[in-house]
Structure 1
């Protein structure tokens, strides 16, 4: 059966190829978001960079992502979706080569920024392509497939990066993108179609002021979130200035987009209730997912002494379990199960994950126990991602799908940035508070404390230390023990409060999420 003139629904091998290309491209973008994390020490040594400078390898990529994501719908309209998608893959691939061949920190920062512009476009455009390539009654299945890329990408990034760093060298983490990028570019040019409703606007109708306000506001906000804790927040003049710029830029941008005839980000689409609630839930998922994923490697590496590769492997079984849950959830939605109640169940499951982690984490927790709780995390993510993405786009048509995907993509990125920034600050503050509390209970007159000190001093003396040095070393051991315990308590608090955040959000879903009243059109015939 031929598709209608304006339909982008594909069938047979064309749909399979388009879906695989889109998912792989989304995964590439997300893998490159996290794969660099485990290579920072190697990059710093080889490029002669300071600790602060090397952090910009991550920050530059994130800044570019957050700037480009909300503009993807407009850029697709300007250049045609197929062309824009293919060029984005090409930019990402070329910059991967340039990053791997960089000889100093400034080069790789520039290349990572441009790579982020291409990568951010891949993430959202992939979602739009998949959503429109599948018929509306199978959109839950399509979003389930896309969700696998969203979850697997960030998970395997550190594992893959750790393996490549251990066995090869840091440029390889960029070069592996090249063959995949070349194949994806060729296939996208051959198979991806541009919708007929996309029409290029004249240059005099382009909202250049909106682009400037978006860039200034979002990039300033991203910097504040990334570097605020490092610069001690508002004790830094730069952070204060950028906070003012972020607030001013974002407020003016929103006003501009709501009042300008040809906005670059169609905020008016948020009149759709499901999309509006979906963007909030997407922000929440980004906050919880990236926030807790950020803490887990810190816990396993700094407190349990695991390597980066071991920490990455820890996440793999739970992630594979997500794939199973996503398939089941997609089929349940396709058979008429309410997305609203699946989302509620996912939030309650994520609360269980946070609450269980709070009680599970110790300085001696074994990997078997961590695997178990991460399966619960996988169940929660599977129950959340597919229903939320499906619900967000369920009542949108035509170009609104691309506009909605761009907004949910932006909020996912911002949720992750907020999550990492706020949790970093929370850990620093809570760790200090727990340290004060623990030290207050270390009374030198306490027989238990005296016994522990005596044992430590005796142990150091047996190793050849004089009494004064042995005593100083014993106190240092106690200080280290207090610091480790206070850090552990702060990590435990993170999981507990993230769990509570999901729990208190349940009423938001029950009250505001509405089931789609639109009757599903049957697009496929029995022959398909």
Structure 2
């Protein structure tokens, strides 16, 4: 049960502010890239570091959440993360060169990367299973809505005040978050800090090498035909060797950085699998939809944003209710309904053509939003319900990591599929570039449709707590 001296509303609002800022900065930079390229006289490949450095730093710091929580406690950890994030934002806003901006983005990511798993763990700790769904549904709005509104907000700020404003705007919001943290979260951390153990440097280093090599390979996969066989082989070897080292270290250490024994829990394993597959289609879809609207339908960026807005609005509207329904009826039923609707939405997206009107596009976007609103909160609830209280920090960190990895993989895979189909349609069937573009997008959405259908299988086991295999 939640502690009596903790203000429920204050805690949720405080955690939403930090989570929203961190999630927003995953996508707010995208529309400001041209302005940064002009000021720093950089190429696309150079300026990509502004985006990729934040993503990599964001994910690297997540596994440290459990160790830091045991050293500092939730309150201090969340407060320090906000401070680091604000310092990073200030440095980004005053950066006078591209290397300084990239370095500042890494600092910003180290603060922002822990905010989401820490917030998720705090809420799971404070609220029991009867209230957890409703609360996580409300808090989860920041996780989902932030990236969706990022490009719109970033475009407006860049146009009016220049690209530094997309970072400097975080300072007053972050200071507000610090004030609220001191006011509402201090009472959440009265338990004695325990389980102080040495930091797992071998696990951290192998995990960092794994992530950097993975994201670097994913980021360059669209230009893979320009790479030599040796380069591709070395990249893949680095990924698999670092993965093998990481697994060996984490499974044999007494106090590993990431508790892989969580996968021994059928419910947790099923939840993470659904989250991974859902993230592939969520982020992949966010990549494909603008391609259709702007390249095929020739809509402007503004009009595309307007057509995509209902989807975000429905996510925001349904998430709190989905959390309540998960508390009442169990997460499995609500998640299955959401995934079925999401599969239908992916199929309908695959049927879009030149003749599709704005009403039909809005209907598809709305259906997708409703589906995501029904899926995200119940799966999050089931993830935390599947583990014990002392595993909340590890579970929330791994949940956040899987979302980012699934998202990166989804964009890369669906982009490759779309491009391959497009080029094959042009060469084999002599289609026009726009018609081939549409064929590629449609086929990619069919892939997303199949992935969602596959995710229904583990969804039926998200409330199970049986043991899978004994990990040692």
User: How much does 1:349 deviate?
Assistant: 0.8
Q: Is 1:513 aligned to residue 462 of structure 2?
A: yes
User: How much does 1:181 deviate?
Assistant: 0.6
Q: For 1:505 and 1:264, how far apart are their aligned partners in 2?
A: 28
Q: For 2:393 and 2:88, how far apart are their aligned partners in 1?
A: 26
Aligned residue for 1:465?
A: none
Question: SS state of the match for residue 232, structure 1?
Answer: helix
Equivalent residues in 2 for 1:358-397, closer than 5 Å = 358-360=350-352, 362-363=353-354, 365-397=356-388
Aligned residue for 2:322?
A: 329
Larger radius of gyration: 1
Aligned residue for 1:175?
A: 168
Aligned residue for 2:126?
A: 133
Aligned residue for 1:30?
A: 23
Aligned residue for 1:159?
A: 152
Q: For 2:33 and 2:229, how far apart are their aligned partners in 1?
A: 25
Equivalent residues in 2 for 1:93-492, closer than 5 Å = 93-192=86-185, 193-194=188-189, 196=191, 198-199=193-194, 201-202=196-197, 205-232=198-225, 235=228, 237-335=230-328, 337-360=329-352, 362-363=353-354, 365-439=356-430, 482-492=432-442
Q: Label 1:178 to 1:364 Cα distance change in 2 as closer, same or farther (>3 A).
A: farther
Aligned residue for 1:493?
A: 443
One of 26, 29, 40 as aligned partner of 2:33: 40
**What is the TM-score when the length of structure 2 is the normalising length?**
0.93
Q: Label 1:11 to 1:162 Cα distance change in 2 as closer, same or farther (>3 A).
A: farther
Contact kept? 1:69, 1:406, Cα under 8 Å: yes
Contact kept? 2:135, 2:320, Cα under 8 Å: no
Please, which runs of 5 or more residues in structure 1 have no aligned partner? Answer: 1-6, 442-481, 518-528
Contact kept? 2:92, 2:104, Cα under 8 Å: yes
Q: Label 1:109 to 1:240 Cα distance change in 2 as closer, same or farther (>3 A).
A: farther
Q: For 2:73 and 2:67, how far apart are their aligned partners in 1?
A: 10
Q: Label 1:237 to 1:108 Cα distance change in 2 as closer, same or farther (>3 A).
A: farther
Q: Label 1:169 to 1:367 Cα distance change in 2 as closer, same or farther (>3 A).
A: farther
Q: For 1:235 and 1:364, how far apart are their aligned partners in 2?
A: 42
User: How much does 1:73 deviate?
Assistant: 1.7
- For the aligned residue pairs, the C-alpha RMSD in angstroms reads 2.0
Contact kept? 1:438, 1:486, Cα under 8 Å: no
Q: For 1:231 and 1:56, how far apart are their aligned partners in 2?
A: 18
Q: Label 1:32 to 1:492 Cα distance change in 2 as closer, same or farther (>3 A).
A: same
User: How much does 1:424 deviate?
Assistant: 1.8
Q: For 2:33 and 2:366, how far apart are their aligned partners in 1?
A: 29
Please, which runs of 5 or more residues in structure 2 have no aligned partner? Answer: 467-472
Contact kept? 1:21, 1:187, Cα under 8 Å: yes
Q: Label 1:223 to 1:134 Cα distance change in 2 as closer, same or farther (>3 A).
A: same
Q: Is 1:77 aligned to residue 26 of structure 2?
A: no
User: How much does 1:346 deviate?
Assistant: 1.4
User: How much does 1:234 deviate?
Assistant: 5.7
Contact kept? 2:348, 2:364, Cα under 8 Å: yes
One of 32, 55, 59 as aligned partner of 1:66: 59
User: How much does 1:368 deviate?
Assistant: 2.5
User: How much does 1:195 deviate?
Assistant: 6.3
Q: For 2:100 and 2:289, how far apart are their aligned partners in 1?
A: 31
Q: For 2:302 and 2:232, how far apart are their aligned partners in 1?
A: 34
Question: SS state of the match for residue 264, structure 1?
Answer: coil
Question: SS state of the match for residue 222, structure 2?
Answer: coil
Q: For 1:515 and 1:209, how far apart are their aligned partners in 2?
A: 33
Q: For 2:221 and 2:143, how far apart are their aligned partners in 1?
A: 27
Q: Label 1:80 to 1:422 Cα distance change in 2 as closer, same or farther (>3 A).
A: same
Question: SS state of the match for residue 34, structure 1?
Answer: coil
Deviations 1:353-406 (A, max 9, x none): 11111112x245433322110111011111211111111111322221111111
Q: Higher mean Cα deviation, 18-27 or 301-310? A: 301-310
User: How much does 1:238 deviate?
Assistant: 4.2
Contact kept? 1:164, 1:173, Cα under 8 Å: yes
Aligned residue for 2:470?
A: none
Deviations 1:177-212 (A, max 9, x none): 11011111232234323363642635xx32211111
